[in-house]
Structure 1
Amino acid sequence: MSEPPLFRADWVVIIVWIALLTFGWFSICGASHEIGDTNFFAWEARTGKQLVWIACSFGLGFFLLMFDDRYFDSVADVVYWLMMFILLITPFIAKDIKGSRSWISFGAMNLQPAEFAKCATALAVAKLINQYGFSLNKMVNFIKAAAMILLPMVLIILQKETGSALVYCAFFLMFYREGMPGCFLFTAVAAIAYFVVGIRYSEEIVPYTHTSIGEFVVLLMILFFTFGMLRIYCPKFNKSWKLLFWGLGTTLFAFLFSRFVA
């Protein structure tokens, strides 16, 4: 006789989830606390409202654990595409809140479809990855999985809710754990580093030139990162040192030209 679905649940994941909920609630307590206000459980307080949603999530989670996991496989695609449709029409029916059209009003309650779309996307991706013979090392499979994540990201960005869209990037960490080549993850991290360094030092100029320090450093980072990726992921490519040499040589020539000629 098979065990009930509740007993077959991954309790390590559930404990981690409870810990994250607890830490998140304490963070809200610290962020919204005012001197002299010690009633964190009041309904009028942000922390009290958050506790209500936490209690609702416990009830809903317990209810969902009673279902057989095959049920979620059968509805994953339907739920995913239904949420994509809702995300598509949200900018046209949502009211403008601080420049963002991502909240749908139901009387006194506002709901953000982007949050529900995260669950739908997780279900659809889980079903895809769980298919027999699926491997992220195959380009076709990787494109399918990436498209499932990029579609809701684009639809949410159209709602001018970039913060919620960036959360979907966490799926790529899961892809890396499931066998995605590390070069994709490294390229994404490198792009973030380029952006941060370029913006941070965009106002400072390299002495005796017209080039910003940010642009110059980003160029060097691209050269060295590309060289490192070639050495790691293409070890049989024996011209990586030549590419680095010519890249640095060209950069030095351009710097000297900007210094003494331009």
Structure 2
Amino acid sequence: MVRETNRYFKFDWITIILFLLLVGFGWLNILSASHVGSDINYFDLSQPFGKQLAFIFLTLILIVLLLAIDAKFYERFSSLIYMVSMLSLVGLFLFGKNVNGATSWYAIGSFTLQPSEFAKTATALAVAKYISDLNTDIKNFKDQIRTFAIIIIPALLVLLQNDTGSTVVYAGFFFVLYREGLPKTYLTIGVLVILLSILALKFGALLTVTATTLVLVLLRFLSKKKLSILKSIFIIAISAALSFGVQFFYKSILKPHQQDRISLWLRLEKDPEKLEEMKRTFAYNLNESEKAISSGGLTGRGFLEGTRTTGKFVPEQHTDYIFSTVGEEWGFLGSALVVILFVLLLIRILHLAELQKSQFSRVYGYGVASIIFMHFLINIGMVMGLIPTIGIPLPMFSYGGSGLWAFTILLFIFIKLDSNRINEW
């Protein structure tokens, strides 16, 4: 039975308010990072802050449309949405516009659209649809392969367009699968692969294999449940193949600028002078971003008062490096507030996901949280130099219509699905 009274207004307003706060605060920082001169025309469409204001206005219209559509539509047509999205990614190879080495945009005059941003929502819907099917059991190996395929297809298409940042985001779907019963073995293997890869790059393949062998020997003597010799040899062989394979991939496959990013992150360059030179030349964006954040101190320099921001020292500051503006002008307290807002949004989404009566809505909710979390983690980590530099926007914060609309669609589909739960007795 559906409530008739105010049924169209039963939405989770906490999530909506958090979204609006992030969008509004993001626009203020885009204004700081992109304005020129003392006189500011907020509606100047020739400037990023003016365009973003127009994008926000269109976003409000988009929200109304998303919430007006029947909740069952998103589940019923999820497969079609996914297929159309994949076709849009394939079409980029024929009609895409190359920007900064990535063929990720369709250009219609001065207007550009990035379909990879919307593909994440389509993938979240498709994964939710497949897992919630009565014939699907995520503990079954065949169903696992099919689910992985749904995730890997868009990830590979995006990777072939040279958009590494968006590709990495798809790893977040493993959190969704883990919640739905994916065996812990996959998570354990994933963590070990990442750890071995980092160790191989940092200390060398031979030393990594040697360390792996010593650990297995110690476990054989100290553990009550002993691994067989054949299993131990198999693990060592896999460790060797992975370690030497990672080194080969790093040295022979990756492009020089990609090698430099990893080298800076892991501090592979031992000479301090060369390391500083790399920071000043190749990692200029990161270097200036770190200076801008550190100059903010506890309370920041004040809105529109950041010297490095107004001086345009940080390239792409209104897009991927927007968090450096927060750090300089709003300081540690402002940066902490942004982090808290994102954490509250993620916690709220996960809380609502657990309340869902349908598996489709729950799985989709976890997909929404995972995508936002990956963007949040990678962008802020990148800006602060904690992870390698990867071009990826901060959700609801960074400049760009495609990103803002994609995250709006992603989030408000879930809000609509959740309202279906609220409106039922």
TM-score where L is the length of structure 1: 0.69
Aligned residue identity for 2:209: L
Q: Compute the displacement of 1:10 (Å).
A: 5.1
**Structure 2 counterpart of 1:97:** 99
Shift of 1:111: 0.9
Q: Mapping of 1:1-262 within 5 angstroms?
A: 2-3=2-3, 6-7=8-9, 9=11, 13-14=15-16, 17-18=19-20, 21=23, 32=33, 41=42, 43=44, 44-132=46-134, 134-199=136-201, 201=202, 213-219=203-209, 238-240=225-227
Do the aligned residues in 1 keep the contact of 2:78 with 2:129 (CA within 8 Å)?
yes
CA RMSD of superposed structures (Å): 3.8
Whole-angstrom CA distance in 2 between matches of 1:220 and 1:136: 36
Q: Look at both structures and tell me which one has the larger radius of gyration over its CA atoms.
A: 1
| Deviation, structure 1 residue 225 | 8.7
- Displacement of 1:58 in angstroms is 3.3
SS in 2 for 1:132: coil
- Matched position secondary structure for 1:110: strand
TM-superposition CA deviations, 1:178-203 (whole Å, max 9, x none): 2222222332233333333333x2xx
1:56 Cα deviation after fit: 2.7
Change beyond 3 A, Cα 1:75–1:20:
same
Q: What's the secondary structure of 1:102's corresponding residue? A: strand
TM-score, structure 2 normalization: 0.45
The whole-number CA distance in structure 2 between the counterparts of 1:159 and 1:125 is 23
How many residues align? The count is: 228
Q: Secondary structure at the match of 1:168?
A: helix
- Following superposition, the deviation at residue 126 of structure 1 comes to 1.8
Q: Deviations over 1:222-241 (max 9, x none)?
A: 558989xxxxxxx9x94327
In structure 2, what is the equivalent of residue 254 of structure 1? Answer: none
Measured in 1, the distance between the counterparts of 2:227 and 2:41 equals 59
Q: CA deviation at 1:53?
A: 2.7
Three-state SS of the structure 1 residue aligned to 2:204 is helix
State how far apart, in whole Å, the 1-side matches of 2:10 and 2:140 are.
31
CA 1:154–1:58 in structure 2 vs 1: closer, same or farther (change >3 Å)?
same
Q: Work out the CA distance in 2 between the residues paired with 1:173 and 1:25.
A: 30
Amino acid aligned to 1:50: Q
The 1-side partners of 2:235 and 2:226 are apart by: 12
Identity of aligned residues (%): 30
Distance 2:111 2:190 in 1: 37
Q: Secondary structure at the match of 1:240?
A: coil
Which of 103-112 and 127-136 deviates more?
127-136
Give the gaps of 5 or more residues in structure 2: 218-222, 240-425
